[in-house]
Amino acid sequence: MRIVAALGGNALLHRGERTDADAQRTNTVRVATALAALAHDHELVVTYGNAPQLDLLTAQSTADATLTAPYPVDLLGAQTQGMIGTLLVRVLRGALPGRSVVALVTHTRVNGDDPAFEDPTEFVGPVYPERPARFLAAKHGWCMAEYRHGRRRVVAAPSPERTVEADTVRVLLETGTVVVCGGGGGVPVVCDRVTGALSAVEAVVDKDLAAARLAEEVKADFLLVLTDVPNIYAGYGTPDQRPVLDATPAELRDARYPRRTMGPKAEAAARFVENTGRLAAIGALDAAYEIVHGRSGTLVRPDLFVA
């Protein structure tokens, strides 16, 4: 079976944990342990979140007085792919002796006319007090939005249209290689309709939606969305909270899960199942093997149609 496993950003850095290299090295061992059993039996693509690492690099670049201007978000995102990719490759090779494992810096094509560019919503970088936020916005042309007790930069989050390197990923899978790619949703690019040339845009692509798109493109049998809870919950955080063990795309959308937490994961699973007729599941990283074998997580299956 061909599986695309989408790791949440907390797989490498747990909530509240410092963005130290040692912490990330330690946490990648947990990732390798969880995924190695799947890779032994199946073809595997691993995608992953990069929000903490992107925020770190954004803060460093903005504060660097030797730079004429901070690095653009697309280049910082590419840097995180290299950093996280090498960490994952090392531990996965150790957990899978004799198996080829490769990390790719991948690009995700988006539509330059996507309405998301008119309404930036995704936070990147540190929180600033009001005056520094106004200064940075004026100096760099950034959009700023309220965030807790300050303001943060926001960028567009356009919908993923295509993974530029999807064919390469598919070829590698056919040779038995474990592929690590799609970090942070991939580097967002737009394609010139005449020349085919790619141009980067200052944006971020939702990692789960990008993983769903990639899973379609490589003809995956299963999309596995891994996070820090054992399954989706209805009424999460309320006295009526209950696990959702089985759902269809329509049921996931009807539940209207929060946009900044479970919403994108539910939408990614729904899109993959709708577009392919195959299965997806959402659950905890440490239960990855159990989820694929139907013993944990929330299974997302096609809607049943009655003729």
The beta-strand segments (E) located in 215-295 are 222-227, 232-234, 242-244, 246-247, 279-284
Determine the 3-state secondary structure of 72 from DSSP: coil
Say what the pLDDT of residue 209 is.
97
pLDDT > 70? residue 305: no
CA distance 267 to 265: 5
Cα 275–chain centre separation? 19
What amino acid is encoded at 269 in this protein?
A
- Per-residue pLDDT reduced to its tens digit, 149-203: 899 999 999 999 999 999 999 999 999 999 999 999 999 999 988 898 999 999 9
- Under the banding of pLDDT at 50, 70 and 90, the label for residue 252 is very high
Structure tokens at 297: 């997580």
Say what the pLDDT of residue 270 is.
96
Q: pTM to 2 decimals?
A: 0.93
270 closest CA partner among 259, 254, 284, 258: 254
Full DSSP string of 151-170: EEEEEB-PPP-EETTHHHHH
Residues 6+ apart with CB under 8 A from 303: 248, 249, 250, 274
Helix or strand (DSSP H, E) at 273: helix 263-276
Residues 6+ apart with CB under 8 A from 274: 249, 302, 303
pLDDT > 80? residue 256: yes
- Under the banding of pLDDT at 50, 70 and 90, the label for residue 11 is confident
As a whole number, mean pLDDT of residues 272-291 equals: 95
Report CA-CA distances (Å) from 275 to 5, 217, 222, 270.
18, 11, 12, 8
pLDDT > 90? residue 61: yes
- Per-residue pLDDT reduced to its tens digit, 78-123: 999 999 999 999 999 999 999 999 999 999 999 999 999 999 999 9
- Mean per-residue pLDDT of the chain: 93
Say what the pLDDT of residue 18 is.
81
Residues 6+ apart with CB under 8 A from 132: none
- Under the banding of pLDDT at 50, 70 and 90, the label for residue 224 is very high
CA distance 78 to 204: 11
Percent of residues, the chain, with pLDDT higher than 70: 99
Torsion of CA 27, 210, 227, 279, to 10 degrees: -130
Query: Are residues 232 and 222 in contact, defined by beta-carbon separation less than 8 angstroms?
Result: no
- Under the banding of pLDDT at 50, 70 and 90, the label for residue 307 is very low
- Per-residue pLDDT reduced to its tens digit, 277-286: 999 999 999 9
pLDDT > 60? residue 238: yes
Say what the pLDDT of residue 100 is.
96
Of the candidate ranges 90-94, 131-135, 192-196, 268-272, the one whose mean pLDDT is the lowest: 192-196
